[in-house]
Amino acid sequence: MKIGYLGTGAWGFALASLLSAQGHEVISWSIESDLVEILNKTKTHPRLPGHPAKGNIRFTLHLEEALEGVDLLVESVTSAGFRPVFENVRLVKIPSCPIVITSKGIEQDTGLILSDVIFDVLGEELISQVGAISGPSFASEVVKGLPTSVVGSGYYPETMKVVCDTFTTDNFRVYPNSDMRGIAYGGALKNVIAIASGAAEGLELGYSARAALMTRGLHEMTKMAVAKGCRTETLYGLSGMGDLCLTCSSITSRNFKFGYLLAKGMSPEEAQEEVGMVVEGAYTAVSAYELSQQLQVTMPITEMVYQIINNKMHLRDAVKTLMQREVKEEHL
């Protein structure tokens, strides 16, 4: 296939490389001229040294080149940049092919998951074309060909099949899951909990505290997703619990690292600069907290992350607040 790819971050490069290695022609678009020059010369991403892309892949600054005549369109941009990118897509050419979302987030102000942003910008009639990939996966491992399992989804079975068939390789296993909205909430909300987990590590609260954060965090994620009409079991799968386990357990996770740096005394701005990449959990924390208030869904860990980042709440005070909450019978 001829595949258009939007975004050349580490994750976008890793997946574009995976696709080109399977024989697809990939045209990857970016707004970063210096990066495009490097990628076309070396086929290697600066954040993923030693692992050049294989196959037929090229990089461009011209969006029309990534949209013209493609059989599949894939995106890996930031949540904050998602709407502006697709507004530009609308101006150039509305795709008639499947569109695969690989980003994870909830838009601020609107509270929309990313597929809903596409419908808002390009029209709800594109619902049959929209699919997604989500699950526990690090770009640094995917680009090395290490075994990885994720889920592929779509609002229509035909699109879901295209997603799963196109991305599945010997080392990248894609399980079908038709709960598009469920995998979107799982992928977005786990980033917020990962910030809390990183902070717990930075405060040296111990493994028990992190286990509790992950378990109760999954409970929060599930409550929100169910309130939005998603399936409970989706959150217990790869795009919920699986992704949560990965991002809450490794400094490789930018969200975990961000929380860790906050615990070590950095401001949110300093921690973001040190991470060097967009911290999606910090962006989604605002959306998730506002949604929880609208839906009257209690999400105490998410609220504490929001307060720490946006209202400069001290981390030790956040821990104290969580530990002094009224104890109720555990419900899962």
**pLDDT class for 328, splitting at 50, 70, 90?**
confident
Tens of pLDDT along 223-245?
999 999 999 999 999 999 999 99
Tens of pLDDT along 19-51?
999 999 999 999 999 999 999 999 999 999 999
Tens of pLDDT along 276-309?
999 999 999 999 999 999 999 999 999 999 999 9
Report d(CA 42, CA 53) in Å as an integer: 9
Arithmetic mean of pLDDT, 185-193: 98
Q: Which CATH architecture has domain 189-323?
A: Orthogonal Bundle (1.10)
So what's the pLDDT on residue 307? 97
Our CA angle for 45, 86, 157, nearest 5°, is: 90
**pLDDT class for 326, splitting at 50, 70, 90?**
confident
Phi, psi of 88 (to 5 degrees): -70, -40
**Mean per-residue pLDDT over the chain, rounded:** 96
So what's the pLDDT on residue 165? 98
Annotated catalytic residues are: 190
State the number of CA atoms in the 13 A half-sphere of 271 facing the CB.
25
So what's the pLDDT on residue 332? 65
DSSP label at residue 249? S
So what's the pLDDT on residue 311? 93
Torsion of CA 222, 226, 231, 237, to 10 degrees: -10
Arithmetic mean of pLDDT, 132-141: 97
Residue 167 has pLDDT above 70, yes or no: yes
Report d(CA 102, CA 72) in Å as an integer: 13
Q: How many CB atoms lie within 10 A of CB 208?
A: 9
Tens of pLDDT along 72-108?
999 999 999 999 999 999 999 999 999 999 999 999 9
Instruction: Enumerate the domain spans of the chain.
Output: 2-178, 189-323
Q: Which of 182, 192, 5, 190 is nearest to 99 (CA)?
A: 5
CA distances from 283 to 77, 147, 266 (A): 13, 29, 17
- The CATH code belonging to domain 2-178 is 3.40.50.720
Our CA angle for 71, 75, 81, nearest 5°, is: 145
Phi, psi of 76 (to 5 degrees): -145, 70
Q: What percent of the chain has pLDDT over 90?
A: 97
